Structure 1
Amino acid sequence: MFHVGGARSALYNWAVARQSGGKFVLRIEDTDAARNKPEWIDGIINALASIGISETDSAFEGPFFQSQNADRHREAAQQLYAQDNAYYCDCTREQLQARTGSQHLGYDGFCRDRGLEYAGGRALRFRTPDEGETVVVDLIRGEPAFPNSAIEDFVIARGDGSPVFLLANVVDDLDEGITEVIRGEEHLSNSPKQQLLWEAFGTKPPAWAHLPVIVNEKRQKLSKRRDKVALEDYLAEGYLPEAVVNYLMLLGWGPGDDVEIRPYEELERMFRLPDVNTAPAFFDVKKLSAFNGEYIRALPVERFIEVCQSWLREPYATWRPEQYDADVFAKLAPLVQTRITVLSEVARYVDWAFLDDAPKDEESWTKAMKPGADAIIKDVHERYAATVWDVGSLKTVLEEVAAAHGLKLGKAQAPVRVAATGRTVGLPLFESLEILGRGRTLARLDAALERLAE
């Protein structure tokens, strides 16, 4: 599944590429066979497309597959060895631990000057400079410096000759002409090693930009093991892609004014990497829902009806397919649109209109059917049997019944609402009754009276 943090990084890359007339390069780093399946690659491409990053756009390039460049990775490793930027090492983990007395220290450079040649089981290590420091020019974080003495001679090829990810990543960036690397801050610690590799190849490193980590409400890094982090999960719950994109763009960056709800095209024009914050960004689901509600309410009603269709079928619909009435939903749609924040809420707001009987919500029943509820329902039933069936008349009748029982309208309408629609909270009552119709409304009031009598 596509992590929302990856989606945020992709959107920032996309914005920079399109602003500059450059290319957004999608590379699938698939050298780990256990973590690589074709359907997962399709999932990445589909997830990107859902947030507007499409293969059909001229700014999109790829996908490239790291596994297809394996021979080039091996050549690059041997180039570094030939330049004396790397050396072979036959130290085992146990030998290193015996020499250092700790399993947590980095490599101690034991094989640095032994002059070993390649043999099965010998790893190839990069020869980190002994002195000085490596300065990473970061478009967000300035110029963090890393003492070379703190960077171990890191492995660039395993004992079987296969290059590790760090080297493969740099070689692919070189071959694909990458000029900016925009990624999460957890990769900042890799940057000095990658920069040393770029310099060893005699090439200027790319511009780095490390985005702030995304955290949950407890200020813990958003984790797939603990939090809902998959972009697909949010879309499947009924968050509109354009709302998700808007929210993700503002996770760590802002346009500098008080306007938050704005189309992606506008955000893209305004986006600037140096303005991205370094502080962790809080993924606030409540705020995302508020954004989504704004986007839902901004839809033309016809478009709202269209996007609701998949949410009016199983597993969301509790009615049979033949009970659904498109004309009825079209009447309800403007009322629903102003009340929901995610599309998965739609079915619960309209189920009463399609079911044979009112939905059974025991909590609502207990809350509404207080002593005297039967008398109110009986009076309303009698008056509704003869009144004109429109919103104004239905409301007037209930107001008169409420006054006769010494109640405010809100108190009097609660048992009628639950009898007719099954719940204490929902769409405006009188509009709902008008759509439900006289016959079905009276039948449900009768059913409620029977239940109360029991």
Structure 2
Amino acid sequence: MSLVTRFAPSPTGYLHVGGARTALFSWLYAKKQGGKFILRIEDTDLERSTQASVDAILEGMQWLGLDHDEGPYYQTKRFDLYKEVVAQLLAEGKAYKCFCTVEEVDAMREAQMAAGEKPKYNGMWRDRTDHPSDKPYVIRFKNPLDGVVVIDDMIKGRIEIANAELDDLIIARSDGTPTYNLTVVVDDWKMGITHVIRGDDHVNNTPRQMNILAALGADIPKYAHVPMILGDDGKRLSKRHGAVGVMQYRDNGFLPQALLNYLVRLGWSHGDQEIFSIDELKDLFDLSACNRAPSAFNTDKLIWLNQHYMKTLPAEQVAEHLAWHLAEQKLNTENGPALTAVISVQAERVKTLKELVEVSRYFYEDFSEFEENAAKKHLRVVAAEPLALVQAKLAELSTWDAANIHQTINAAAEALGLGMGKVGMPLRVAVTGGGNSPALDQTLYLVGKERALARITLALDYIKQRAESN
């Protein structure tokens, strides 16, 4: 039988990094085994599900590169199938109508708690046939009364739950709509899911779902419950810890390769190896090597990985993502250097793509003012002569490249008997607007001859005005 995994998010918000890690584990396991990965949108919570959340999930999966072989399937388009299965369970005596009101069920549970018992539905309509004709009802599954459910969890190991601990859960509401545990079971059955890899917050659902699958005569998949991700304070990861939505990491300037590499190491390891390509992960990933304990999110480690990928990925790949950030900042790159060239000189100097945009603005955007502190320190009257000489010599260059620019700046410094700092720093501020940039020859080359000369003129005018005002 072909291996089939699935990722089945509910569209009630963004794609959380915890969900993204679960999707990654499911995707990798299918890819390693030559199986199939299905994307299913569990949108039966009609009040909370939104199209915006669906779009956010699809966008997040696409950005991460977690492509699906089938789907996306939408549960709201499969209601007829669920109703058929509910009808089948009713006809076979494996489900029943329950006419209890919400108040009756609440009172039942309060009495049980008062008696020191576990609160659960007591099955009062399980075998009754005196059905009223004028009262609303829900459909409940007839859970086995004895025996145990055994989950041979691929991460957590053997888990046993006594059926006596489980009550007869609702599988269809009074308006006829199916509940989560029913839709999941039907979809996993009909889609041929062989391995369910999901968060361990679903452990309590698993025995219930296994019992429904058994009642339907369906094959029961293997289960792997992934421990949750915690913040650095030991509490469940949430917005108070910073970004938790996948696309927020994109917006903050992280590469998908870095986030994927980081997420896979949250709870899984292969020796001491830290850096993994996707191809390596497809070959090495193994659910049995996942930790049973929760993992703590460490943003500093993610930043370290992001820096690594910015420096080591082919510049063409980084440029694809940098282009998005430049567009978001409305920077026109048509009249500037190639993104790959900027990445080659800037990647070592920043932590994120967002920072890279900020320190690279002068390559694509002209300015009318200089950074105040840098100008005050370096665009002084004594800088006018070296700037004017460098400008004149640069204007004479017939070939504008880093080697010629480097030679020209050195020649100007020698002609004036000045150290490079007295020439280079005023020139850097003049051409970039500030005091930081890559190597000066590379910076001028990428800024371009016409732009560089015009900016030196702007700096000379600034120095002149500064002298006149003193």
User: What is the TM-score normalised by the length of structure 2?
Assistant: 0.78
Distance 1:331 1:133, change over 3 A: closer
Q: Which residue of 1 aligns with 2:299?
A: 285
Q: Which residue of 1 aligns with 2:398?
A: none
Specify the SS of the correspondent of 2:158. coil
Specify the SS of the correspondent of 2:275. coil
Task: Summarize the alignment of residues 359-438 of structure 1 with structure 2, pairs less than 5 Å apart.
Answer: 360-361=370-371, 365-366=372-373, 369=376, 374=380, 377-378=383-384, 380-381=386-387, 384=390, 390-392=405-407, 394=409, 409=421, 417-433=428-444, 436=447, 437=449
Would the aligned equivalents of 1:358 and 1:421 in 2 still touch at CA under 8 Å? no
Task: Summarize the alignment of residues 117-132 of structure 1 with structure 2, pairs less than 5 Å apart.
Answer: 117=131, 120-132=135-147
Give the letter for the 1:287 counterpart.
K
Would the aligned equivalents of 1:358 and 1:420 in 2 still touch at CA under 8 Å? no
Q: Which residue of 1 aligns with 2:355?
A: 345
Give the letter for the 1:74 counterpart.
K
Q: Pick which of 238-247 and 165-174 moved more.
A: 238-247
Q: Pick which of 423-432 and 141-150 moved more.
A: 423-432
- Specify which of 193, 197, 213 is matched with residue 212 of structure 2: 197
Task: Summarize the alignment of residues 48-63 of structure 1 with structure 2, pairs less than 5 Å apart.
Answer: 48-55=61-68, 60-63=69-72
Q: State how far apart, in whole Å, the 2-side matches of 1:163 and 1:301 are.
A: 50
Q: Which residue of 2 aligns with 1:146?
A: 161
Q: Which residue of 1 aligns with 2:259?
A: 244
Specify the SS of the correspondent of 2:185. helix
Distance 1:99 1:399, change over 3 A: farther
Where does the alignment leave 5 or more consecutive residues of structure 2 unmatched? 1-13, 114-118, 395-403
Q: State how far apart, in whole Å, the 2-side matches of 1:393 and 1:138 are.
A: 69
Alpha-carbon offset, residue 52 of structure 1: 3.0
Distance 1:62 1:220, change over 3 A: same
Specify the SS of the correspondent of 2:177. coil
Q: State how far apart, in whole Å, the 1-side matches of 2:390 and 2:364 are.
A: 21
Would the aligned equivalents of 2:387 and 2:423 in 1 still touch at CA under 8 Å? no
Distance 1:145 1:448, change over 3 A: farther
Q: Pick which of 68-77 and 296-305 moved more.
A: 296-305
Specify the SS of the correspondent of 1:209. strand
Specify the SS of the correspondent of 1:255. coil
Would the aligned equivalents of 1:88 and 1:115 in 2 still touch at CA under 8 Å? no
Alignment of 1:262 with 2:289, yes or no, is: no
- Specify which of 181, 187, 205 is matched with residue 172 of structure 1: 187
Would the aligned equivalents of 1:66 and 1:168 in 2 still touch at CA under 8 Å? yes
Would the aligned equivalents of 2:39 and 2:70 in 1 still touch at CA under 8 Å? yes
Alpha-carbon offset, residue 332 of structure 1: 4.1
For each residue in 1:220-260, what CA deviation from the matched residue of structure 2 results, as whole angstroms up to 9, or x when unmatched? 323368742332333344433333333332222122232x2
Alpha-carbon offset, residue 140 of structure 1: 0.2
Alpha-carbon offset, residue 152 of structure 1: 2.6
Give the letter for the 1:262 counterpart.
F
Distance 1:339 1:103, change over 3 A: farther
Q: State how far apart, in whole Å, the 2-side matches of 1:327 and 1:202 are.
A: 64
For each residue in 1:420-442, what CA deviation from the matched residue of structure 2 results, as whole angstroms up to 9, or x when unmatched? 42333332345324655563353
Would the aligned equivalents of 1:112 and 1:127 in 2 still touch at CA under 8 Å? yes
Specify the SS of the correspondent of 1:25. strand
Alignment of 1:206 with 2:221, yes or no, is: yes
Q: State how far apart, in whole Å, the 2-side matches of 1:210 and 1:133 are.
A: 19
Alpha-carbon offset, residue 183 of structure 1: 0.7
Would the aligned equivalents of 2:82 and 2:183 in 1 still touch at CA under 8 Å? yes
- Specify which of 81, 84, 89 is matched with residue 72 of structure 1: 81
Where does the alignment leave 5 or more consecutive residues of structure 1 unmatched? none
- Specify which of 148, 159, 171 is matched with residue 174 of structure 2: 159
- Specify which of 219, 233, 245 is matched with residue 218 of structure 1: 233
Specify the SS of the correspondent of 2:211. helix
Would the aligned equivalents of 2:99 and 2:137 in 1 still touch at CA under 8 Å? yes
Alignment of 1:101 with 2:113, yes or no, is: no
Q: Which residue of 2 aligns with 1:17?
A: 30
Distance 1:179 1:430, change over 3 A: same
Alpha-carbon offset, residue 190 of structure 1: 0.9
Alpha-carbon offset, residue 267 of structure 1: 0.4
Alpha-carbon offset, residue 276 of structure 1: 1.0
Q: State how far apart, in whole Å, the 1-side matches of 2:301 and 2:376 are.
A: 35
Alignment of 1:274 with 2:285, yes or no, is: no
Distance 1:209 1:279, change over 3 A: same
- Specify which of 331, 335, 348 is matched with residue 345 of structure 2: 335
Q: State how far apart, in whole Å, the 1-side matches of 2:327 and 2:59 are.
A: 23
For each residue in 1:297-327, what CA deviation from the matched residue of structure 2 results, as whole angstroms up to 9, or x when unmatched? 224445555654444445242xxx4x95344
Alpha-carbon offset, residue 184 of structure 1: 1.0
Q: Pick which of 82-91 and 2-11 moved more.
A: 82-91
Alpha-carbon offset, residue 189 of structure 1: 1.5
Q: How many residues are paired up?
A: 437
Q: Once superposed, what is the RMSD of the aligned Cα atoms?
A: 3.7
User: What is the TM-score normalised by the length of structure 1?
Assistant: 0.81
Q: Pick which of 177-186 and 340-349 moved more.
A: 340-349
Would the aligned equivalents of 2:386 and 2:423 in 1 still touch at CA under 8 Å? no
Alpha-carbon offset, residue 176 of structure 1: 1.6
Give the letter for the 1:290 counterpart.
W
Give the letter for the 1:292 counterpart.
N
Alignment of 1:325 with 2:325, yes or no, is: no
Q: State how far apart, in whole Å, the 2-side matches of 1:326 and 1:162 are.
A: 57
Alpha-carbon offset, residue 170 of structure 1: 0.7
